[in-house]
Chains A and B, each alone.
Chain A
Amino acid sequence: MPGAPVLDEIKIIIEDIGKGGGKEPPSGGDGGGDGEKHGRPGPPSPRRYYTGIALGIVSILMFFMALASAYLVQRATSNRWVPVHLPAILWANTMVLLASSATMEQARKRLSRADLSGFRTLWLVTTMLGLAFLAGQLVAWRLLVAQGIYVSTNQGSSFFYIFTAVHAAHLLGGISALIYVYRRNFETAKVSLSIAAEVTSYYWHFMDGLWLFLLALLYLGK
Chain B
Amino acid sequence: MTPSMVTHDSGETAPEERASSFLALTFWNTDHKVIGLNYLWLGLISVFLGMALSLLMRIHVAWPGVHLPFVSRLANTPEHYGALAMLHGSLMIFMVLTAAPQAGFGNYFLPLQIGAREMAFPTLNLMSFWATAASLLGITASFFLLPDRGLTLWVASVALFCAASLWSALNISVTAIDLRTRGMTLPRMPLTAWAWFLTAILGSLIFSILLAACALLLSDQVVGTHFFTAPQAIMGSMPYSMPQGIPLLWQRLFWFFAQAEVYVAMLPCLGITSHLLSTFTRKPVWALRAVVLALGGVGLFGFCIWGYHMFESGLNPHVPLVFASLAESLGLPAVILLASWLATLWKGKIQLTTAMLFAIGFVSLFISGGLSGLFLARHDLAVVAVSDEFITGHFHLVMGVAATFAILGALFFWFPKMFGRRLNETLGKLHFWLTFAGVYCVFMPMHWLGLIAHSRTAGANPVAAAVAGATVRNFITGATILTIAAQGIFLFNFLWSVWRGAKDNEKNPWRATTLEWSTPSPTPLDNFGAAEPVVYRGAYEYGASDSAEDFVPQHRAPGQVARKDH
**B123 adjacent to A23 (CB under 8 Å):** yes
A173 to B429, CA, bound (A): 51
Judged by a CB distance under 8 angstroms, whether B498 is at the interface is no
Judged by a CB distance under 8 angstroms, whether A109 is at the interface is no
**B218 adjacent to A13 (CB under 8 Å):** no
**A5 adjacent to B211 (CB under 8 Å):** yes
A12 to B166, CA, bound (A): 12
**B124 adjacent to A21 (CB under 8 Å):** yes
**A41 adjacent to B120 (CB under 8 Å):** no
Interface residues of B in 392-432 (CB under 8 A from A): none
**B225 adjacent to A151 (CB under 8 Å):** yes
**With contact pairs A151-B225, A158-B219 given, residues A24 and B211 touching in the complex (Cβ less than 8 Å):** no
Give chain B's interface residues, CB within 8 Å of chain A: 1, 4-5, 7-8, 11-12, 15-17, 30-31, 116-124, 127, 131, 159-160, 162-163, 166-167, 169-170, 173-175, 177-179, 204-209, 211-213, 215-216, 218-219, 222-227, 248-249, 252-253, 256, 524-526, 529-530, 532
**B249 adjacent to A51 (CB under 8 Å):** no
Given A23-B123, A62-B205, 8 new contacts (CB under 8 A): A27-B11, A32-B15, A48-B174, A48-B177, A52-B120, A55-B204, A66-B256, A70-B213
Interface residues of A in 146-179 (CB under 8 A from B): 151-152, 155, 158, 162, 166
Chain A contact-residue range equals 35 or more
**With contact pairs A5-B159, A6-B215, A21-B124 given, residues A45 and B170 touching in the complex (Cβ less than 8 Å):** no
A56 to B222, CA, bound (A): 28
Which residues in A have their C-beta under 8 angstroms from that of B248? 73, 77
Interface residues of A in 22-37 (CB under 8 A from B): 22-30, 32, 37
Which residues in B have their C-beta under 8 angstroms from that of A48? 120-121, 174-175, 177-179
**B215 adjacent to A40 (CB under 8 Å):** no
**A28 adjacent to B213 (CB under 8 Å):** no
In the complex, which residue of chain B has the Cβ closest to the Cβ of A25?
B11
Most B CB atoms within 10 A — which of A16, A27, A52?
A: A27
**A51 adjacent to B530 (CB under 8 Å):** no
In the complex, which residue of chain A has the Cβ closest to the Cβ of B126?
A12
Total A-B pairs, Cβ < 8 A? 176
* Interface of B (DSSP majority class): helix
- Contact with A162, one of B30, B124, B160, B215 (Cβ below 8 angstroms): B215
Min distance, Cβ A51 to any Cβ of chain B, angstroms: 5
Contacts A/B (CB < 8 Å), 17 sampled: A2-B218, A12-B123, A16-B121, A21-B124, A24-B122, A44-B117, A44-B179, A55-B170, A55-B174, A56-B170, A59-B169, A63-B211, A66-B253, A67-B216, A73-B249, A73-B252, A151-B223
Judged by a CB distance under 8 angstroms, whether A9 is at the interface is yes
Min distance, Cβ A43 to any Cβ of chain B, angstroms: 8
Nearest 8 CB-CB pairings of A with B? A29-B525, A66-B212, A62-B208, A63-B208, A152-B224, A5-B163, A158-B225, A2-B215
**B227 adjacent to A39 (CB under 8 Å):** no
**A23 adjacent to B4 (CB under 8 Å):** yes
**With contact pairs A70-B216, A152-B225, A155-B227 given, residues A44 and B116 touching in the complex (Cβ less than 8 Å):** yes
Most B CB atoms within 10 A — which of A58, A63, A64?
A: A63
Which residues in B have their C-beta under 8 angstroms from that of A67? 212, 215-216
**A41 adjacent to B170 (CB under 8 Å):** no
Which residues in A have their C-beta under 8 angstroms from that of B526? 26-30
**B117 adjacent to A58 (CB under 8 Å):** no
**A12 adjacent to B124 (CB under 8 Å):** yes
Which residues in A have their C-beta under 8 angstroms from that of B252? 73
Which residues in A have their C-beta under 8 angstroms from that of B5? 23
Which residues in A have their C-beta under 8 angstroms from that of B15? 28, 32
Judged by a CB distance under 8 angstroms, whether A105 is at the interface is no
**A25 adjacent to B12 (CB under 8 Å):** yes
A63 to B252, CA, bound (A): 14
**B226 adjacent to A24 (CB under 8 Å):** no
Min distance, Cβ A173 to any Cβ of chain B, angstroms: 12
Which residues in A have their C-beta under 8 angstroms from that of B256? 66
**A70 adjacent to B117 (CB under 8 Å):** no
Which residues in A have their C-beta under 8 angstroms from that of B8? 23-25
**B225 adjacent to A12 (CB under 8 Å):** no
Which residues in A have their C-beta under 8 angstroms from that of B219? 2, 151, 158, 162
A16 to B123, CA, bound (A): 7
Which residues in A have their C-beta under 8 angstroms from that of B159? 2, 5
A51 to B206, CA, bound (A): 19
Judged by a CB distance under 8 angstroms, whether A118 is at the interface is no
Min distance, Cβ B369 to any Cβ of chain A, angstroms: 29
Judged by a CB distance under 8 angstroms, whether A3 is at the interface is yes
Judged by a CB distance under 8 angstroms, whether A8 is at the interface is yes
**B120 adjacent to A44 (CB under 8 Å):** yes
A118 to B352, CA, bound (A): 68
**A37 adjacent to B212 (CB under 8 Å):** no
A67 to B119, CA, bound (A): 31
Which residues in B have their C-beta under 8 angstroms from that of A30? 524, 526, 529-530
Judged by a CB distance under 8 angstroms, whether A143 is at the interface is no
Min distance, Cβ B196 to any Cβ of chain A, angstroms: 14
**B209 adjacent to A66 (CB under 8 Å):** yes
Min distance, Cβ A94 to any Cβ of chain B, angstroms: 23
A17 to B125, CA, bound (A): 13
In the complex, which residue of chain A has the Cβ closest to the Cβ of B182?
A41
In the complex, which residue of chain A has the Cβ closest to the Cβ of B124?
A16
Min distance, Cβ B425 to any Cβ of chain A, angstroms: 30
A63 to B165, CA, bound (A): 13
Min distance, Cβ A65 to any Cβ of chain B, angstroms: 8
A41 to B532, CA, bound (A): 6
Interface residues of A in 75-132 (CB under 8 A from B): 77
Which residues in A have their C-beta under 8 angstroms from that of B121? 13, 16-17, 21, 48, 52
**A21 adjacent to B170 (CB under 8 Å):** no
- Contact with A9, one of B12, B166, B175, B532 (Cβ below 8 angstroms): B166
**With contact pairs A2-B218, A6-B215, A28-B15 given, residues A52 and B122 touching in the complex (Cβ less than 8 Å):** no
In the complex, which residue of chain A has the Cβ closest to the Cβ of B218?
A2
Judged by a CB distance under 8 angstroms, whether A60 is at the interface is yes
**B174 adjacent to A51 (CB under 8 Å):** yes
**B122 adjacent to A23 (CB under 8 Å):** yes
In the complex, which residue of chain B has the Cβ closest to the Cβ of A77?
B248
Which residues in B have their C-beta under 8 angstroms from that of A183? none
Which residues in A have their C-beta under 8 angstroms from that of B178? 44-45, 47-48, 51
**A59 adjacent to B525 (CB under 8 Å):** no
**A12 adjacent to B127 (CB under 8 Å):** yes
A120 to B224, CA, bound (A): 44
A28 to B529, CA, bound (A): 9
- Contact with A24, one of B7, B166, B206 (Cβ below 8 angstroms): B7
Min distance, Cβ A26 to any Cβ of chain B, angstroms: 7
Min distance, Cβ B156 to any Cβ of chain A, angstroms: 8
**With contact pairs A37-B530, A51-B177 given, residues A59 and B215 touching in the complex (Cβ less than 8 Å):** no
Min distance, Cβ A80 to any Cβ of chain B, angstroms: 11
In the complex, which residue of chain A has the Cβ closest to the Cβ of B30?
A24
